[in-house]
Amino acid sequence: MDNQTDTTVIAESFTDKEIFTKIWTSPRAVIKYINDNKYEKFVAILLILAGIARAFDRASNKDMGDTYSLWTIIGICVVLGGSLGWIAFYIYAYLVSWTGKWLKANGDQKSILRVLAYAMIPIIVALLLVIPQIGIYGIEVFKSDGDITSAGLVPNIFFYGSMILELVLAIWTLVLCVVGISEVQKLSKGNAILNLLLPVLIIAVPILLLTMFFSLFN
């Protein structure tokens, strides 16, 4: 009688709810399920929400409150961020697929876009923290010299605590991106990180060189 142990691994299956909960504790298993099953149920809404989240982040980093009113900023972030922000993800997914060929990687644009959408879940959660921040401080959140200390001890504790939490969520988003690219393109974590950076370098380096070139004539 053959006593050899059966080592066949049964693929995990996840419900819709489990995808959003277990991606925090078992990211590779969830992303593998998403990739293997071409799970696209929430891709569109995730990309829209991620576009809005990135728009609010840029609005704060670029001190848009110095120029625009609060409602204008909210409108720009929600309307333009939601309707146009996802285009950047499509372009980025294409570039990741393209540069991945240099590393002999697998994965087409659609499969990369799919896992990137789910990797944005932490940043989308961070978007929920922006609402009470605006409620407490209003336009000051988006100003270069905004007053975010006069609301009282408890609101200030919440504000700085939420900033720390946003940083943690941003880091976890990067982790999910690395895991996702590693799984889809069958790359090591090191090469996955490299391939996430290559599209940025492809865009940033020519812009930098052109800026330096034209600055020579000014």
DSSP string, 22-85: HTTT-HHHHHHHHHHTT--TTHHHHHHHHHHHHHHHHHHHTTGGGTS-HHHHHHIIIIIHHHHH
Asked whether residue 191 carries a pLDDT value surpassing 90, the answer given is: yes
Structure tokens, 195: 């391939």
Distance, in Å, from the CA atom of 184 to the CA atom of 100, rounded to the nearest integer, reads 11
Average confidence (pLDDT) over 115-136: 90
Mean pLDDT of the chain: 85
Higher pLDDT, 159 or 188: 188
pTM: 0.82
Q: What are phi and psi of 6, to 5 degrees?
A: -80, 115
- pLDDT tens by residue, 15-70: 889 999 999 999 999 999 999 999 988 999 999 999 999 999 888 888 898 888 99
Distant-in-sequence contacts of 100-106, Cβ < 8 A, 24+ apart:
100/185, 100/187, 100/195, 102/198, 103/185, 103/187, 103/191, 103/194, 103/195, 105/185, 105/186, 105/187, 105/191, 105/195, 106/184, 106/185, 106/186
Instruction: Collapse the DSSP code of 19 into the 3-class scheme (helix H, G, I; strand E, B; otherwise coil) and give the result.
Output: helix
